[in-house]
Amino acid sequence: MGDTYRMFLDMVSGSRYIVAFTGAGVSAESGIPTFRDKGGLWERFRPEELASVEGFMRDPVKVWRWYIWRMRTIYSSEPNYAHLALALLERKGRLRSIITQNIDGLHTKAGSRRVIEIHGSIWRVRCARCAYRSEIKEVPNESELPPTCPECGYMLRPDVVWFGEPLDNMKWSMAVKEATRSDLFMVIGTSGAVYPAAELPYIARNSGSRIIVIDPNPTAFDDIADLRIWSRASEFFRGIWRDLESLPPLDPA
């Protein structure tokens, strides 16, 4: 791994605007299942039933029960070295933002501040009819499902992007701006199976960014990677942790 570390550190040291783009793989070593891996969520559950408006309208209690199960898994999980390393690079003024497809909140829990959650957050709910939305601190009570909107009384739903739904405009344009401004774009733990999120590495590359891909398995972005790291994310960042710690902060000039 020696020369991979050196190449990674050279690319990080030589960049002024690093952006990370993460998927479920970055949280895998925190004990949160991914979607399309062996044993992943979509192997055990049907996304159209549990992560779509039609599925929710057909059986809101079933969808809420599934999200409560996921909340419980996430609630007891901790950020791993990958989350912590990205927060460390942000504190050093090197990493400017994280664009994440994850809804688990672990980047924020690790201390990252500029996190664009383009698929929403499992820790936020919104009304399935009016504009009401709110953060939630604990798991909703299973005996009162679906929770109802305090403004209009209709059903509340998780504030996440379901299949077939558009992304939040403001978040998407922020993500595109960050990808365009980046000079180094780190793709960590995403298969690249879902659009428009999967457009972001190409947007970054087309605007001149160098691309790093960190994933133990093949991904859709392997052919555009300037540095391909065939490793699990937390394992890689644990190994390079000391070198990252001794990186000088980037002068704000």
3-class SS at 83?
A: helix
In the complex, which residue's CB is closest to ligand APR?
A: 25
Site string for ligand APR, 182-221 (x = CB under 6 A): -------xxx-xx-------------------xxxx-x--
- Please give the single-letter amino acid code of residue 124: R
Site string for ligand APR, 4-33 (x = CB under 6 A): -------------------xxx--xx----
Q: Does the annotation mark 83 as catalytic?
A: no
Q: What is the spatial distance between Cα 175 and Cα 127, in angstroms, rounded to a whole number?
A: 25
**Which residues, in sequence order, are bridge partners of residue 157?**
126
3-class SS at 229?
A: strand
In this structure, the number of other CB atoms found within 10 A of the CB of residue 224 comes to: 18
The catalytically annotated residue of 70, 94, 119, 157 is 119
Q: Is 250 left (phi over 0), alpha (psi -120 to 50) or beta?
A: beta
Q: Does 117 bind ligand APR (CB under 6 A)?
A: no
Q: Binder to ligand APR among 233, 240, 244, 250 (CB under 6 A)?
A: 233
Q: At what angle do helices 2-13 and 233-245 cross, to 10 degrees?
A: 60
* Nearer Cβ to ligand APR (17/45): 45
* Nearer Cβ to ligand APR (40/60): 40
- Please give the single-letter amino acid code of residue 250: L
Token pair listed for 231: 């490793």
Please give the size of the binding site for ligand APR, defined by CB under 6 A: 24
Q: Which residues bind ligand APR (CB under 6 A)?
A: 23-25, 28-29, 34-37, 40, 101, 119, 189-191, 193-194, 214-217, 219, 232-233
* Residues with catalytic function: 119
